[in-house]
Amino acid sequence: MVFGGAARQGRADPSAGRTGKGGTLRQAGGGFHPQTPSIATETAVALRSAVLALGPVQLATPLLLAPIAGYCDLAFRTICREWGGVGLACTDLLSPHGLLRGTATSLDLAQTNDFDKPVGMQLYGSDPAIMAEGAKWAVDHGASIVDINMGCPVDKVTKKDGGSKLLCDLDRAVRIAEACVKALEAASGGRVPLTCKMRLGWSWTDYENGVSPDLACRLVDVGVVGVTVHGRTTEMKFQGDCVRPGIKRVVDAVRAKAGTRVKVIGNGDVREPGDALAMMRDTGCDGVMIGRGALSTPWLFRDAAAMLAGDPLPAEPTELEKIETIKRYVGLMVRSRGEHYAMYQIRRRMSWFAKRLGPCKPLREAIRNTQTPSEVNEKLDRFLAGELRGGRYEEAESEA
């Protein structure tokens, strides 16, 4: 069964590496979501006419799938694209050392195909020369955009002076960006631009001292075409609320320096379509990057795109469509990464998928104890038949 967006219009199987134009989003069930929030008409009209281009790369929508460590594999990017509404999807974090050495893990994380376009490849590290070589590798292996990670708060990244640790060394961060811009120009003739993703600072003191707008403006000076801002500090990790005024400060600083030539993308706490609209309205950002919200709701881009266009929200996917989405993910993962890795991923992701299935603790437990993809499908079919239901709902365990 195919579902959502272009797949419902008969697009070729993306795993075969073929492309298609897609079509109008089908409104599942023939109706609209019963909880469609009101939309400010003037805001929707303004957003409908907005164009998001990152340098020479034109996006179909201003909605981007975040490079979530451990989650943004080709299979997941594919199901989000099949539901529709994705303007750009990013790979998992990529180590340039691993890419240049050709390690299996890095190459697996960098997998892409013709359906998976435009795609951003995100690099993390602290050495300008190595990062520049990684950027060249990305051009040669299908990247539409290269992004530098300046926002990951995970210890294994920051202890190597990468990720958000670069917010503590702005000079190094700018040198990395400058080296990558030059490498991309040489490798692609300007076809593949550079963007950067950051946080508000390492600490709240950094935020108050304006680290993020300062860094964003310095990145503009060396040729970065877009900056994504996660509205938290490193010390906040994923706790507390996204600080939208902090994102707005970066938007205002970049606009004052570069006008609309350089784009600012807002990121953080986008879990429902209205959150994307509110992010753009409250911060003035040019686009919205969605991370953890997509893990349980891969059709979130479809719904947010409709809201940003001022259109009625499509209906909530049926239970059958949600289950078929899970099956589709497992099947794609088996093809791209193998059965062992597919089973590892579905066991850890089932808590996320279950957030949109209602009380289903028996199903989640059953999936965690499966050994093969066929067993996963059998448990999902039993759920559709009315079994493996009930139990108190529990939040997903991973912070992603």
According to the model, what pLDDT value does residue 19 have? Answer: 29
pLDDT of 151 over the 90 cut: yes
The answer to whether the CB of 332 falls within 8 A of the CB of 81 is: no
Low-confidence winner among 22-36, 176-190, 279-293 (lowest mean pLDDT): 22-36
pLDDT of 1 over the 90 cut: no
Sequence ranges of the domains in the chain:
5-11+33-308, 319-384
Q: What's the average model confidence in pLDDT over 78-96?
A: 97
Q: What's the average model confidence in pLDDT over 39-66?
A: 75
5-11+33-308 fold: TIM Barrel (3.20.20)
The catalytic position among 152, 196, 242, 285 is 152
pLDDT of 392 over the 90 cut: no
The CA distances from residue 190 to 57, 139, 186, in Å, are 10, 11, 8
DSSP state of 112: -
Q: What distance separates the 2 farthest-apart alpha carbons in the chain? A: 59
Q: What's the average model confidence in pLDDT over 64-88?
A: 96
Name the residue with tokens 């500090």.
233
According to the model, what pLDDT value does residue 352 have? Answer: 94
pLDDT tens digits, 322-378: 999 999 999 999 999 999 999 999 999 999 999 999 999 999 999 999 999 999 999
DSSP state of 16: G
* Distance from C-alpha of 84 to C-alpha of 302, rounded to nearest angstrom: 5
Tell me which of 3.30.2010, 1.10.1200, 1.10.10, 3.40.1350 is the CATH number of domain 319-384: 1.10.1200
Low-confidence winner among 43-57, 354-368, 381-395 (lowest mean pLDDT): 43-57
Angle of CA points 286, 288, 294, to nearest 5°:
165
The answer to whether the CB of 393 falls within 8 A of the CB of 348 is: no
Q: pLDDT > 90: what percent of the chain?
A: 83
Give residues with Cβ within 8 angstroms of 316, minimum separation 6: 28, 29, 33, 34
pLDDT of 212 over the 80 cut: yes
According to the model, what pLDDT value does residue 44 have? Answer: 53
Q: pLDDT > 70: what percent of the chain?
A: 85
According to the model, what pLDDT value does residue 390 have? Answer: 85
| Bridge partners, 79 (sequence order) | none
Mean pLDDT estimate for the chain: 87
Residue 152 among the catalytic residues: yes
pLDDT of 169 over the 90 cut: yes
